[in-house]
Amino acid sequence: MAVQVTELMSELLEKRNGRNIEAERHKRRRDELNDKTKQWVGRRDELNAQVRELIDEAAKHREERDKLNLDVKGAKEERDKLNRAVNEIIDKINRLKRRHTPRGEVPLSRLKKDLRDLEFKQMTSVMKIDKERQLVEALSNVKDQIDEREKELEKVEEIQEAIGELESSKSEAEECHGKVGELADAAQEEHDKMMALYEKSDGVRKQADGAQEQFIRTKMMADEEHKNHIAMIREVHDFDKMISGIRRKHRRERVSKGETVAKKKADEIYDRFKSGEKLSTEDLMTLQKSGYL
């Protein structure tokens, strides 16, 4: 019976120690995974912070772009206003030229129309050499008439003033047009920077999402290892209870067996005492412990 108990205790202790080793293994793995979850959380938060910084920076470029677009709109309106003024002055000059053209002479506008017609004919018609020569001479004559008429009209003080006004207005319109281009280029540059930052933030956000996925995956693995660790610890406790119970039972059986042997010995001593045999001090103490005395 003692051999069976010893074998049982040995088997239980072996299994208990095995479960304890497994529990420690799951604990170490759980702790390693928890450390990794902290790393992934840190990486995720770091990337999300970068995303926020990029978006904030992009927002600044968007704000500057919108401001520049408003400036472009204002500059275009000013440019259009100046262009209308230029056209009005040109109309004014043409009216003055018509007014100052002597009666009976071909109007300057008619000469310019004739010149355009002749130039168109030269570009689109196939002619013999003598006809082409005649056309060239006609062109030259019309140009000379126009130049001569222009010079004569430009001597008129009223027309000279209008021409000066025209040149000033054209200069302002050209300057304003240049400003429109500069502002539009600046707005486009801010837009490009904004888009580049948004594109970069999208890439960093994908990395942050990947870090979040890794965090979740690692956290689930750590939770599984923790669950396995707790399960092994519970089994260890169960084995401890069984081993303790067997030990207590074994101690009780040994005590009970000892008491039985002592009672039997006391009965023998008492029988010897009744038969008149002289008892030793040790015999008397045994009878006292057994309740005979």
Instruction: Indicate whether 201 belongs to any domain.
Output: no
> Do the beta carbons of residue 108 and residue 153 sit within 8 Å?
yes
**For the stretch 160-183, what's the b/e string if a residue is b when 16 or more beta carbons lie within 10 angstroms of its beta carbon?**
eebbeebeebbebbeebbebbeeb
**Domain-embedded: residue 50:** no
Domain residue limits at 149: 101-155
> Is 144 among the domain residues?
yes
The reply to whether 134 falls in a domain is yes
Q: Are 122 and 135 in contact (CB under 8 A)?
A: yes
Token readout for 26 is 């799951």
From CA 168, how far away is CA 242, in angstroms rounded?
110
> Which residue reads 């960093």 in tokens?
204
Number of domains in the chain: 1
Residue entry with tokens 């109309």: 91
Q: Does residue 4 sit within a domain?
A: no
Considering the domain boundaries, does residue 123 fall inside one?
Answer: yes
Q: Are 200 and 11 in contact (CB under 8 A)?
A: no
Residue 229 lies in a domain: no
Question: Could you tell me which residues come within 8 angstroms of residue 263 by beta carbon, excluding any fewer than 6 positions away?
Answer: 290
Quick check: pTM over 0.75?
no
At which residue do the structure tokens 């412990």 appear?
289
Task: Give the model confidence (pLDDT) of 5-14 as tens digits.
Answer: 677 778 878 8
In a domain, 176, yes or no: no
| Residue entry with tokens 């902290």 | 38
Q: For the segment 236-257, what is each residue's pLDDT rounded down to a tens digit?
A: 998 888 878 777 776 766 655 6
- Segments of the chain with pLDDT less than 50: 1
- Quote the pLDDT of residue 1: 45
**What does the mean pLDDT of the chain come to?**
85
So what's the pLDDT on residue 147? Answer: 81
